[in-house]
Amino acid sequence: MIKPVKVTGLAVALVLTGIASQAQQDTHAQTEELPKGWHLLDKAKDGYYGISVDKAYEFIKSKNLKGKTVVVAVIDSGVDTLHEDLKEILWKNPKEIPGNGIDDDGNGYVDDVYGWNFIGNKDGRNLKQDSYEGARVYHKLKAKYDGKKWDPASLKGDDLIEYNTWLKAKARIEGGGDEPQIDLTLLKRLLRGAQKGDSILQVAMGKESFTGNDLDTLSAKTPVDKAAKENLLYLFRANQSMEQSNKELIGGFEEFVSGEERKAEAKDKVPPSYRKDVVGDNEDDINDKYYGNPDVMASTPFHGTHVAGIIGAVRNNGKGMDGVADNVRIMMIRAVPDGDEHDKDIALAIRYAVDNGARVINMSFGKDFSPQKKWIDDAVRYADSKGVLLVHAAGNDSKNVDTADNFPNAAFQDGKGRATNWITVGASGDPKAGGITASFSNYGKKEVDVFAPGVRIYSTIPGTTTYGNAQGTSMASPVVAGAAAFLLEYFPYLTPEQVKFCLEKSARVPEVKVNKPGTDEEVPLTELSRTGGVINVYEAAKIAATLQPVKAAPQKKTPKPTLQNKKG
């Protein structure tokens, strides 16, 4: 799962290996605070590498265009349905009567008022934590392949894909892969030190909650206070999270360590059946699809709430912050736990979004393994046949996804081309806060289409009236999804391919070189993505205004399901 960057693997690795150069660069670069909503600003007018939203609305006004409502599906962890800046723009199923226990619209999902929760049970239980896909693949296929001699030349199709996936999982779990190995003992020691330092600083600060900026102003009176301040400030700065609270920082660190512990256990221990124990469907049968419940908030709404706000929080209402798009309805589809999502849930989430009227789907999640990718590919083709655009986060591992797997992606597993209704998004920042590229962002000259702001993005968080910063490609993706929705509001005849063309063609290429994420190397942004640019909504709107509806375009044939039960 791609999460907002609280404590990134990069920052932890820097601390563990003693390689502080990148973190130090980030620290020195953060000499100026970014204003809330900087990602919406215009470089020429405001001096920040934002996406020029106000100029875009001025352009629309000059054309006397009236916007139509666009439904944006957010496949994520959940959403705070009571938030003051979101409750007005949440999608509500017009054919469903809330809380009557009846499937009023006959779509198979009872009381799906705001969307659907594919990782819950009809009895009200919800999945929060899950294992990692690599561990699931490793143990599922171990009995079949481990210790046995297989000739890859004798395998083909799905069997060859499965065997290669097993080899990759084996290398990852048993060691010997290309992934850096983290010293878990040292990592846990570091966490204990951070927790102890936090307790010391709460006393020194005279309050239980404080931000990195608050801590930076503390005049430490004792050597113990000084050491605690320096250590915790290092974590705040290494993660570019000075505006986060100590509770968020430590909480994110604890989640990261918990995840690494689960990974470390995977070699000798079969992952617990978290999902099976809660959801209760047959995960090996894609046609067993009417499971879950309507609880789209559940107990994990932070990530999805932040994403939803970026896309469409009510604009100009004097509350909190403004979303990118001004006339959207957010359909929440809960399918992403704390851990790796399951392919079946994602495939069905995409189909649910399409069937219920979404024109854009945001997907701020990702993983290294996709054992049922063909199910997702079929769903993506289905979305394409219905004119739906999918926007996906590139990932937060400072990796080149031209060579490192990041699923789901646009390349079809059967080798029959790529999805043309798909945009992959890397995270950009600002020179005043670490650089034009986010140090954590994945990149790829072939696989990443555009970059968009994903550093210190201010948005809605659970708590009805609460807002805060988070960062990651998880935040960059909804910036693009919001931009796509904006274009479809005012140019509703655009196809997904045309929307993608507008966003890519108008992307602004920086005049200077940028840091290759995770390194000190400076390269043109054209080396890190297909367009080499950061999206600009104003420029995209100008291009969209020149495009005409596609006349007499042949209706795309809805692909017949190739989904077959796979017994494992």
Contacts of 31 (CB under 8 A, 6+ apart): 432
- At residue 115, φ and ψ (nearest 5 deg) are 145, -145
Q: Judge contact between 135 and 266, C-beta under 8 A.
A: yes
DSSP state of 117: E
Task: List the pLDDT tens digit at each of the 568 positions of the chain.
Answer: 444 444 444 344 444 434 333 333 333 334 467 899 999 999 999 999 999 999 999 999 999 999 999 999 999 999 999 999 999 999 999 999 999 999 999 999 999 999 999 999 999 999 999 999 999 999 999 999 998 888 888 899 999 999 999 999 999 888 755 555 667 788 888 899 999 999 999 999 999 999 888 999 999 999 999 999 999 998 888 776 776 789 888 988 888 888 778 777 777 889 999 999 999 999 999 999 999 999 999 988 999 999 999 999 999 999 999 999 999 999 999 999 999 999 999 999 999 999 999 999 999 999 999 999 999 999 999 999 999 999 999 999 999 999 999 999 999 999 999 999 999 999 999 999 889 999 999 999 999 999 999 999 999 999 999 999 889 999 999 999 999 999 999 999 999 999 999 999 999 999 999 999 989 899 999 999 999 999 999 999 999 999 999 875 555 655 555 544 333 3
Rounded-to-integer distance, Cα 369 and Cα 132, Å: 9
| Domains, the chain, with CATH or none | 1-30+182-270 (no CATH), 32-128+284-544 (3.40.50.200), 137-179 (no CATH)
> Does the N-terminal peptide bond of residue 408 adopt cis geometry, omega within 30 degrees of 0?
yes
Q: Is 199 left (phi over 0), alpha (psi -120 to 50) or beta?
A: alpha
